[in-house]
Structure 1
């Protein structure tokens, strides 16, 4: 192009000459050599056994494939016979060290490192997977596997072992993450109450569960809440009215509101008088102004509304509810909920009829030692009396060590040893042995312990009717002429360590310690014990009657096909027979089909 007479063409193709490069230009042979070396490098990344070049076309262009030409070359170069011979023998061959490196994870003995002979390690792996000896052979440096299925089995075992270890790691992480999340919730809940309210002794370290009424097994409540609504907290609480009378309510906290569900009797229809769940009140977060609590350890809480009457509730798990309410409130409105603490609270009551409404007062008094609140209503004032709890600056004890680990078990053993060392232990001193710790000083006039020595053996037999001191009877050592005093080391009394005069005198002083005679009550108890040992055989020795068979569950037949819309529903087809476990009033039954339990619509089935 540079030799062209057209200036425009010469400008399009300038002559790029690198003056600094003094090497010879690449030739065709060097290009072929470079490409061949690159091809060999790519092939050696695998384990090639037989390499043959096939010419795909005559045009020397890429992606131009002449199928007849390729088939002709494969047939006349003997590639088919080569592959058949390869398959008839041991197609897979691998050095011992590479085979061990890949499949060592299959056994505990070879993982993470095999310390013995490589050949023995390969044999151990083959034995662990129960591979037949006809399917593999061991050479001097390589292992040969015959069938591809055997190799696939090794790969499958390897994948399963990796999955097993992955599940172990996943389980440990989930356990750690859940514990850390519980600790974080405890800290956040403690910060809400820190320095403002006393805490209960057995609830400060409690883990939070959220659902305490079992919403999964109560479809009627789910219908009231909404199946798509996510429930953060649910508990049975007490709601107090204008006369301070308690009524049971199901408190349910969702992402947008607080629900109070009560029960009313059906007034009409075949189910007249049957209690059913009804929505008593729905408190949206936008309508809640603040929350009031006392500074004592009681469970009372007031939800104050902006333009409506308030709700005076008694919630056992108030700390967990307040924490979750604050989180949902902040996520919905972008600010934290206002919480006030005072021992004199006031709330608005519902307006009923002409001249209704007004306010009620609640006063809290710390008195006594009971953890249960004592209610004393008087007109429009309710007085709550409760004992003191833990200080308001109490913090939960967080578990820093991994539960179940060796370190935590060692810490637990040390804790037990330390606390067992604090318990009083009575050590019995042998005759003539020195005490293990210095004994306290004796009162004046008493005989020192060291002056009491064992008497010589008697030269004559003991006279009849002589009182005998048994060796197994243990009494605290008491000096003659003095009473018991705390801190003295107890000693085991034997016939050789007790003087006759001292034993008689001490026996007179210890008559009050002897067990009194049982009298008529003892005779009666003895007769009852004798009669209990000779009880007659139940049923007069007759064989036990067979147990009654369990009643068969009612069944129903599907009239139409139904596909489950939620996780707790059943999928069935027309004509399927379903066992009915429970018939609910809301139009949903609980049934079982093919071992799976769930909910099904009642209008899709017909009872058999």
Structure 2
């Protein structure tokens, strides 16, 4: 039951797949009516074959694949090497034959009737009694034991036995030695299907299945073919098709057995070149002749080069070709005359002959050209003379009609213009439409030549009453266009500078005394040179590059002791650095706000979250470039809306539950001291911003 099930499954799959292939081939086939109409072009077929397979464990599938490669190699030998030499022998051309490896002996070993491996395999599958893979191997040893390309563990010498199992046999293919394990050969080859199952499938409601299982098979008493025989017959049909065509080959060389790019195994490549017949093919081509053509074709093409063969040769073709090549000065080593063809050894000889033919063609056609040109020019002169007379008559009449038409149109145009001027103050109507359209067009043409060249140029031509609204729209559009062009022309560095300046303006304009002094000064990319930043700090930051650095003074939250630090800004956080190490890291996401005073001092308070008991509290800093620092920090942290400018005191968190204050006053010079109440007292100098 299991075998019947498997056989039915394989039959359904195989036949439906064959049905699908046939349907595709029918749809791709060139229809007969297209051939009869003469519209069909030459058909090109592409055959992509699987390569030679040598695996760790080679079974029935690899045996069939390598058998296919043997047949194709034999076809290659017959169509190239053998046919090349046979042509020379047929034409009676004396030359030294090139020996080559003929794998017909291997193909016969596999496919020969009653003696080949496939025949033995089929016989073992069909014979009565107990059969197994080992009995098949023993029968191969009995039948093929003396064959030079067949080896088994029993027939091999001691050296080969060490690398072969008792269930394997070895074939010496053209591309190398392959060991095949006979385990499963009989099961894979045995593809018989019970007639009762075929009859059931013929009665299937599925149209495809009923088509694949024909009813004639039920009554057919012929023994069904095995899988290997089916494969051999299919391969024979392919060989017949290829032999009837003119094939061209693309040989693929496997560079290595490791499937690695850029690696070439010289021994493996040399082995493939040797057994693919490439060296023999090259030797045949080099020993042979580059050009061959039948006598009649050669004489028909090149007979104008010899006076004795031009225009026609009336003797034997061989004598005509001999006369022609002697006139052309061919040397004995350059050509050979066969029974029906001429063989030219060197391409250079043929190229020189073609050059001579090209040089002769102008002389041959010179007489024809002279007569034809004279006839053509006389006929052309008569046609031109007649055409000139007709054109002159027609053109004179047309000029007179056009002149009268232009005068009528000019008179009507003047009437329209005058009538439109009279009704120019009325609404748009048929009486004044031409005049108003003319005025509008004149304004637009004048405007196109006098458009403002810059955003600051406010000159704009005065529009007519009918174009006031359109003029306003055009003025706005032109202004937007100039602004867009100006923005696109700004360099990335300057755009970045302006972005920062605009952000600083939104945060500090009319709110901080020192802002007007920062407006004419450019914001620098960094206030610290690269060598001023400690290398250990840069290594600690890793992939987070320093985007801005500045020297600041940090005030302790309790005693307000001054400590000189470096404030470094990256894309995701800021750090306070003390010479060689990072003292504090400030995550932008944790920053709750930035507070500065409205005076001209440089005090900055960075408000940090105080829910955690371990949190140190807010950070109090002093920087001489306070506008630049706060702007860059707010943009990087995306906290432009969290900048607080206080006109009085600034409250900051010392620790959880404790707060401190910074009081600001104006004075003659800047000072930062601790006040009597424990507050930090900051005196900011007066600034004259006028």
TM-score, L = length of structure 2: 0.21
Higher strand share: 1
- The structure with the larger Rg is 2
TM-score, L = length of structure 1: 0.24
Higher helix share: 2
